[in-house]
Each structure stands twice: as C-alpha cells, then as structure tokens.
Amino acid sequence: MASNMAHMRDTKWLTLEVCREFQRGTCSRSDVECKFAHPAKSCQVDNGRVIACFDSLKGRCSRENCKYLHPPPHLKTQLEINGRNNLIQQKNMAMLAQQMQLANAIMPGTQLQPMPMFSVAPSLASSPSAGAFSPTWAPCRPA
C-alpha cells in the first residue's frame, strides 16, 4: 500500500476554485476574463473546487469528455507557477529528510528539529550589497 501512495500524483497544485457566480449561472464574465474556473459539465467539481487536467497543461489531452478542467491561458499560467513551486517544495522536503537521516546516522538517538527555510529572491542573492546591511549586525572593521 505504501508503494501505491508513492506513485499517486499530488493534485493539490492543480486545484482551482470554481466561480460562485458561474455555479449560480449568473457570471457575466467569460472563462477567459474571470479569475475563477468555469468548468465544463463533464468536469468533476468537489466543494467548489476543480482539478485541472495535467495533460491539457502539456497540450496533449485526447479524452473526449475529460473530467478535469482544461484551463484558459491565464489560469494555465498560474497553475504552471504552482507546479514549479510545488516541485521546489518537494525537493526541499526530500533534502531535509536526507539531512535528518544523515544526522541520525552520525548521532543515533538524537532528535533534530527542522528549521524553517527562507528563500532569497535571485536579484538579492546576486546583488553585491546583499549582505551589506543588517539591523542587528554592525560592519566589522579590522583593528
């Protein structure tokens, strides 16, 4: 059973909120203009949310009546961003688990507390003055 769980696709990042006005039949915006999903009748909607079609995001869905949402371009862009962020998060969690295993192998019986990870914007990381200011640290000058 554990091996089945490992092969299941995580669909949280593919989930979108369905337009409440669309559900009532009163949305005046088209699916391209509305920031919420306007799913087709064949789509499966659960608690006001719908899962986007992974194959559609890749441009290769061939299902006749797909039960997943085929999102318009603006929602597709958001889902692609969500997917990249999800992949980064999965890699970070795998790296953390690996580090904790290694630490436990070096010091058996020790419980390590996970530390929060903060990302730095690429523009800040490459900036020459990135470490120049700190409200708590004063610059060190040779004596």
Q: Over the stretch 60-106, which tens digit does the pLDDT of each residue have?
A: 999 989 999 999 999 999 999 999 998 999 999 999 989 888 888 88
- Rg of the chain on CA atoms, in Å: 23
**Residue 54: its pLDDT value, please?**
92
Beta strand segments in 3-137, E: 15-17, 45-46, 49-51
Q: Pull the structure tokens for residue 92.
A: 């970070």
Mean pLDDT of 118-133: 52
pTM of the full structure? 0.61
